[in-house]
Amino acid sequence: MSIVAVAHPNLALVKYWGKADTGLNLPASGSIGISLGAFSTTTRLRLEAANSGSSTWEVSINGRTQDPERFRDFFDEALKGYSGEPRHIVVASENDFPTAAGLASSASGFAALAGAVNRGLNLNLNDSDISALARRGSGSATRSVSGGFVAYPEKAASARQLHRENHWPELRCVIVQVSSGKKAVSSRKAMEASRTTSPYYPAWIEDSRKLVDQARDAIADRDLDALGPVIRRSYLRMFSTMFSADDPVMFWQEASIRVMNIAAELRKNGIAAWETMDAGPQVKIITLETQVEAVLTALEAGRSGADDWVISVSGIGSGLKVREE
Ligand code: 2P0
């Protein structure tokens, strides 16, 4: 028998960037994200007899064996709640979108892993506990356990759902993958560079509190005119802490800036199109169902023949799902 867990990446509208505690992986800034239903991670877990007196693990992502050390904090935490016989835990995870390219694959990956491990080891965790376990792998993964609109407060152990996925049915995210390459710097290293070397980092933390409150209200009111400027402030201020780090971190590519300009032009023409970016060159444009065509048309007109952009449209997705096969 194997356990199958499916989770969607969670895109931050207000960004988590910086840690209050690196050991426990607690966030210094609060964040609010949406589940991207168009992309999924599917994680299969089975248990084998242990080779030694303690439980061990092996993890592959898209068929590639991963360094087990990357998963040590996660499994150490998970195994604290396990009282059964030692096991060898075999995990195979598949993403239907690029891994480690700024599309939150670690969010969906660790949320699916936490769900699979909870069921496979009979840990009996509730959603909040699963979110806290996922955090030991990746902070943004806390938000991928619930569907819909999710808040992950400053210094909190876990994320919590603000609204279910049907709260704002018209909201859409147009994802423009301008590059399929892996990022050169991990988000973890990049946010540590911001925290430890950017003179703007304290201002970023202070300002994020306002952005969290403003975004929460705008989402409750389903008001994209109010939410859009908050989305823009959050990503641009987050990147400002990277540009001002020693050494500076630059995830943007020339094509990313072109997509930003396309969104700005759309807004001038009265189309609600608010871009955001994460730890990679991809650009995500938040818009409404009625305006998706206009956004896609502008992207087609603005891309050059040399651009091999992959464009996807996502609604708001559900939370983690776990089954046995
Ligand atoms: C987020 N991002 O809120 C932020 C905004 C990207 C920019 O990927 O160190 O991979 O594993 O906790 O969760 C957050 O980075 O970092 C992140 P760790 P994570 O989605």
pLDDT tens readout for residues 8-29: 999 999 999 999 999 999 999 9
**pLDDT tens digit sequence for 102-112:** 777 899 999 99
By the 10 Å C-beta count (0-12 exposed, 13-18 middle, 19+ buried), 80 is classed as exposed
User: Global pTM?
Assistant: 0.96
- Place 101 in a pLDDT band, splitting at 50, 70 and 90: low
**pLDDT tens digit sequence for 223-245:** 999 999 999 999 999 999 999 99
The closest residue, in CA terms, to atom 4 on ligand 1 is 16
Ligand 1 atom closest to the CA of 279, numbered from 1 = 6
CA of 138 to the centre of ligand 1 (A): 7
**pLDDT tens digit sequence for 155-169:** 999 999 999 999 999
The closest residue, in CA terms, to atom 12 on ligand 1 is 139
Cis amide prior to 21 (ω within 30 degrees) = no
Question: What is the torsional sign of CA 298, 301, 303, 308?
Answer: positive
How high is the mean pLDDT of the chain? 96
Whole-angstrom Cα distance, residue 35 to residue 25?
21
CB 119 within 8 A of CB 77: no
| Distance in Å from the first CA to the final CA of the chain | 6
**pLDDT tens digit sequence for 254-311:** 999 999 999 999 999 999 999 999 999 999 999 999 999 999 999 999 998 888 999 9
Q: The tokens of 179 are what?
A: 């590059």
- Rounded to an integer, the average pLDDT of 168-188 is 91
Question: What confidence score (pLDDT) does residue 104 get?
Answer: 74
